[in-house]
A and B are shown apart, each in its own frame.
Chain A
Amino acid sequence: MGISHMTATPLETVLFIIFGAVAIAGALSVILARQVVYSALGMLVNFVALAAMYIMLSAEFLGIAQLIVYAGAIVVLFLFALMLVGGRRPAEQGRLSPGFAAAGGALAVIFLAEIAYLVARMTGVAGARGTVTPEAIAQLGHIQLLGATLLLDYILPFELASVLLLVGIVGAVALARARRRSQEE
């Protein structure tokens, strides 16, 4: 498996390039589409392409979680919100001052140039290699390794994530109730 040894098989390379191009095309269609619903569908394309990349990078669990959480739940939530606010009208545009647009575009280009410069100068990835080699994954299974890491080494963040999700649910319900009360007045 190529990535950890800085080489990839030709098939892997081709698949990475295809999925990368699809991910970039999806992201571009999010910011270029005139209708918000097309932005949401572009976001879906981006999420699915990234899920394929996660699976190819031997992060199978996160690839599936990406499909369920992002491509499933989050995109559907966006489409529901779009339905509530009326997505058929074109997104309001044209009130962005040209100076602001030029400054924003320039900032984005400068940021990308900085990262590209750093990556071009990069000679390798420093730091100790861990024990999760392809052989260990083949022997123990990726899900078992991830589960052990999550529930032994990172049990406190794991529990805090569940508290965070609970707070998120309570907050969403509180927002919905406040809306109903203000409609009754």
Chain B
Amino acid sequence: MDAIRYLLILSAVLFTIGAAGVLLRRNALVIFMCIEIMLNAVNLTFIALSRQLQSLDGQIFVFMVMAVAAAEVAIGLGIIVSIFRHRATTDVNDVSLLKG
């Protein structure tokens, strides 16, 4: 099998695992980890295609994704800890004030 196909399939599998985790887990921290796994799966696609196309543009995208992920984790974990301080839970089912 071509290396690029193998890498794209691997990346799709990792993204699917992350998406399934977001849909199936109820713990806010685990959901957040699954989002990180999805970001990493997309990074792998960018790097594989950057190698395939012999261009560095894909790697610049990965660089930006890493910067966004770092900022996102700092803010997101702050929000999760804040919610825990107020409501003593990290279960997203317990934080449903906007639900009609």
Contact = CB atoms under 8 A, between A and B. Distances in A.
Q: Do A and B come from one complex?
A: yes
Contact of B86 (A24, A53, A182): A182
The dominant DSSP class at the B interface is helix
A179 B82 contact: yes
A61 B60 CA distance: 11
Interface in A16-43: 16-17, 20, 23-24, 27-28, 30-31, 36, 39-40, 43
B67 A30 contact: no
Using C-beta atoms within 8 Å of the partner chain, give the interface range for chain B: 35 or more
B5 interface: yes
A168 interface: yes
A125 B9 contact: no
Interface in B62-100: 62-64, 66-75, 77-82, 84-86, 89-91, 93
A61 B14 CA distance: 22
Interface in B1-45: 2-10, 12-21, 23-27, 29-30, 32-34, 36-37, 40, 43-44
B14 A24 contact: yes
B95 to A, nearest CB: 12
Contacts of A82: 29
A28 B17 contact: yes
Contacts of A27: 14, 17-18, 37
Interface residues of A, number: 93
Contacts of A13: 3
27 contacts: A4-B51, A16-B7, A20-B6, A31-B21, A31-B25, A54-B43, A57-B48, A59-B50, A66-B43, A70-B36, A73-B70, A74-B69, A77-B77, A91-B30, A96-B24, A108-B19, A108-B20, A111-B12, A111-B16, A112-B16, A115-B16, A146-B59, A149-B59, A161-B67, A172-B75, A175-B79, A179-B85
Interface of A: 2-4, 6-8, 12-13, 16-17, 20, 23-24, 27-28, 30-31, 36, 39-40, 43, 46-47, 50, 53-54, 57-59, 61-62, 65-66, 69-70, 73-74, 77-78, 80-82, 84-85, 87, 91-93, 95-96, 100-101, 104-105, 107-109, 111-112, 115-116, 119-120, 122, 125, 127-133, 145-146, 149-150, 153-154, 157, 161, 164-165, 167-169, 171-172, 175-176, 178-179, 182-183
